[in-house]
Each structure stands twice: as structure tokens, then as C-alpha cells.
Amino acid sequence: MTVPSIDLSAPVPRVNFQLMSKYEGKRVRLVGKVEEISGTTMKVKTSDDAMVDVLLTGAAPTDAFVEIDGTVEGPNVIREESNVGFGNDFDMKNYNQVCTLMNGKYQSLFL
């Protein structure tokens, strides 16, 4: 059995709304609750209770919670490269704490 390799040359940080501004123009992962989908724009509520517009490039998710992999294009805009459904029950408070730790005290372990 072949184990797929993981590219560690360009790690992708997990962010909440507050952390997005640190990564403008860069690729990030953001988990949010889908609030509205209109055409190719999806509004998600982040783990720190802000709203972000996601510019969809593929199919819109069907789950209530979704992880967006994309590029930060502005203070509250991400251009999606892909998305993964996280189901209809996800602990956003825990995720917010993980984002804070991964981008703060324990950043050296993740980036």
C-alpha cells in the first residue's frame, strides 16, 4: 500500500476572522457556518462570530458547517479553491480556540 505524501513546504494556516488580515493574498483554511448562498457567493459566520464572503469556484456545500481552503482577497473575502463539508453539528468555540493557539503560543508546531 502506498501512503500519499504530504507537502510541508507551504503550510496552510487555519484562521478565524480576526486572523484573516495577517494572511491577505495568501492561502488559508477557514471553518464557518453557512448563512446564505447567492449565485457564486456564500456568506459564512466564522468561529469568532464575524461574517465572511466566500467567492465560490466550485459546487456550493450542502452541509451547515464547511471548511474553506482559499486565498484571502480582502478584509472579509476569501476566494475558494476547495471546500469540505463538516456536517451539521460542529463546535465552533473549540475551533476558535484551536485557531488562536495555532497562530499564537504554539505556532511553531504548525507553521
pLDDT in tens, 46-76: 999 999 999 999 889 999 999 999 999 999 9
List own/partner pairs for 8-12 with CB under 8 A and 24 or more apart.
Answer: 11/110, 11/111, 12/69
The model's confidence at residue 7, banded by pLDDT at 50, 70 and 90, is low
Residue 103 per-residue DSSP state: T
Higher pLDDT, 27 or 8: 27
Higher pLDDT, 103 or 88: 88
The model's confidence at residue 111, banded by pLDDT at 50, 70 and 90, is low
